[in-house]
């Protein structure tokens, strides 16, 4: 598949590949998404706005150019912006493919980084020379000002023009906590939300700090997604409970919604209210407890987003999805086309009663499966 090269959130020719619970594939206009939603369904979206999380500057000990891409934090609190996990790059910008970017100078705890009007200290190197914890020495208000003045949206070479921060905000964007846009939500506008409600569906939002999608390094990409904080409002948890009780479907707009809801779910599917930190990676061994269907972008095999799709459908169905998307010229990445995937009806014998969280198996799990 080719990458979508223009930052247009709702292009008139956007397409939607749909996969039902039996694995049957159809092709539609993305505008037809509303027609796939039934009376009694609940559509849940991520209302996170995107931070200007790319910061260029200087590695003070060597004077060499660095770029930090902020990639993780412990909570969503607006006063908790002193410490981040970040991925470091050497000289270059978004015009150079990520995989071709040179590495940063050797980073060690205590190194100072000058990033515009901000200054950061390397606190730890996290098992990879480019993955670090940093602490900003500025006051909270100055950090927010420095991000706004000096930061840029994280961007990749397939987007030909420089992104503005508002290019990365969905129509429902609210708190600035995401490191990259929850781009499945680009399909939404308030007219679509009204149309969903007119069909007898309900709509809710959660907040999840969507992380970075690529570092250009296969070893580092293999640890994605990093831990990501989220917040489940009481109203959303109540709507999920009512939808499941009445037999409706919970439809997630984006993989971040799936990750938050499934992490917040108890064994019976009850979703816990309040803040949390998603620490697990969803995949073929995951039993989905809350989400019945997913609207997402098109993703390449091997990425964490694609691994999450394996919780919904078998590898054989996903291969057919890939082949169909390739044959029909679907566009990839955040401004590309979309897929709508229903959760397959899986037999216990084939898939097991599996649910892995935080890299561990629950008590009902066959340990050999995780």
* Residue among 284, 278, 275 at smallest CA distance from 258: 278
Write the pLDDT tens digit of every residue in 87-101.
Answer: 999 999 999 999 999
Q: What is the pLDDT of residue 9?
A: 94
The SS3 call for residue 178 is strand
| Contact criterion met (CB below 8 Å) for 156 and 189 | no
| Contact criterion met (CB below 8 Å) for 260 and 206 | yes
CA dist., res. 51 & res. 178, Å (int):
6
- Of 367 and 358, the structure prediction assigns the larger pLDDT to 358
Task: Report the 3 state secondary structure along 261-308.
Answer: HHHHECCCCCECCEEEEECCCCCCCCCCCCCCEEEEECCCCCCHHHHH
The SS3 call for residue 100 is helix
Q: What is the pLDDT of residue 346?
A: 60
What counts of helices (H) and strands (E) characterise the chain? 8, 21
Q: What is the pLDDT of residue 1?
A: 78
- Poorest-pLDDT segment among 224-238, 324-338, 353-367: 353-367
Whether the per-residue pLDDT at 348 is higher than 80: the answer is: no
CATH fold, domain 2-49+163-369, is: QueA-like (3.40.1780)
Phi, psi dihedral angles at 203 (to 5 degrees): -135, 135
Q: Cα dihedral angle (215, 220, 221, 224), rounded to 10 degrees? A: -110
Structure tokens at 336: 């590309």
Whether the per-residue pLDDT at 353 is higher than 90: the answer is: no
Mean pLDDT, residues 27-42 taken together: 97
Mean pLDDT, residues 36-63 taken together: 98
Write the pLDDT tens digit of every residue in 248-268.
Answer: 999 999 999 999 999 999 999
Write the pLDDT tens digit of every residue in 88-136.
Answer: 999 999 999 999 999 999 999 999 999 999 999 999 999 999 999 999 9
CA-to-CA dists, residue 281 to 43, 178, 226, angstroms:
22, 18, 9
Q: How far is CA 265 from the centre of its chain?
A: 18
Structure tokens at 199: 């069909």
Confidence of residue 347 (pLDDT cuts 50, 70, 90): very low
Confidence of residue 350 (pLDDT cuts 50, 70, 90): very low
Report the chain's mean pLDDT, rounded to a whole number: 92
Confidence of residue 362 (pLDDT cuts 50, 70, 90): very low
Helix (H) or strand (E) holding 140: helix 140-150
Q: What is the pLDDT of residue 52?
A: 98
Phi-psi region of 199 (alpha: psi -120 to 50; beta: other; left: phi over 0): alpha
Mean pLDDT, residues 58-78 taken together: 97
Whether the per-residue pLDDT at 38 is higher than 70: the answer is: yes
Write the pLDDT tens digit of every residue in 183-214.
Answer: 999 999 999 999 999 999 999 999 999 999 99
Question: Using the 8-state DSSP alphabet, how is residue 11 labeled?
Answer: -
Q: So where are the chain's domains?
A: 2-49+163-369, 53-150
CA-to-CA dists, residue 188 to 44, 155, 175, 341, angstroms:
11, 22, 17, 17
């Amino acid at each position: 598949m080719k990458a979508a090269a223009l930052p247009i959130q709702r292009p008139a020719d956007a397409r939607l590949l749909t996969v039902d619970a039996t694995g049957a594939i159809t092709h539609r206009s993305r505008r037809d998404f509303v027609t796939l939603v039934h009376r009694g369904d609940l559509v849940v979206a991520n209302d996170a706005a995107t931070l200007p999380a790319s910061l260029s500057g200087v590695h003070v000990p060597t004077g060499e150019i660095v770029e930090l891409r902020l990639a993780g934090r412990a909570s969503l609190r607006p006063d908790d912006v002193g410490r981040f996990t970040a991925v470091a790059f050497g000289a270059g910008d978004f015009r150079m493919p990520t995989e071709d970017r040179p590495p940063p100078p050797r980073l060690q705890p205590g190194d100072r980084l000058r990033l515009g009007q901000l200054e950061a200290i390397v606190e730890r190197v996290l098992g990879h020379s480019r993955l670090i914890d940093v602490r900003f020495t500025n006051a909270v208000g100055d950090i927010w000002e420095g991000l706004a003045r000096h930061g840029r949206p994280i961007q990749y070479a397939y987007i030909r023009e420089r992104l503005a921060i508002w290019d990365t905000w969905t129509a429902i964007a609210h708190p600035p906590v995401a490191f990259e846009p929850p781009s499945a939500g680009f399909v939404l506008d308030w007219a679509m939300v009204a149309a969903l409600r007119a069909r007898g569906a309900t709509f809710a939002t959660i907040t999840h700090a969507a992380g970075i999608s690529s570092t250009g390094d296969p070893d580092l990409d293999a640890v994605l997604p990093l831990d990501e904080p989220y917040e489940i409002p009481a109203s959303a948890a109540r709507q999920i409970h009512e939808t499941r009780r009445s037999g409706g479907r919970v439809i997630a707009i984006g993989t971040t919604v799936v990750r938050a809801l499934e992490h917040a779910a108890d064994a019976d599917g009850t979703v816990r209210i309040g803040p949390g930190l998603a620490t697990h990676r969803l995949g073929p061994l995951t039993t989905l407890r809350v989400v019945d269907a997913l609207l997402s972008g098109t993703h390449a095999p091997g990425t964490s987003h694609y691994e999450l799709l394996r919780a919904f459908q078998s590898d054989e169905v996903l291969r057919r999805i890939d082949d169909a998307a390739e044959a029909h010229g679907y566009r990839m990445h955040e401004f590309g086309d979309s897929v709508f995937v229903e959760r397959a009806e899986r037999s216990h014998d084939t898939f097991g009663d599996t649910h892995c969280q935080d890299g561990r198996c629950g008590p009902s799990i066959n340990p050999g499966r995780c």
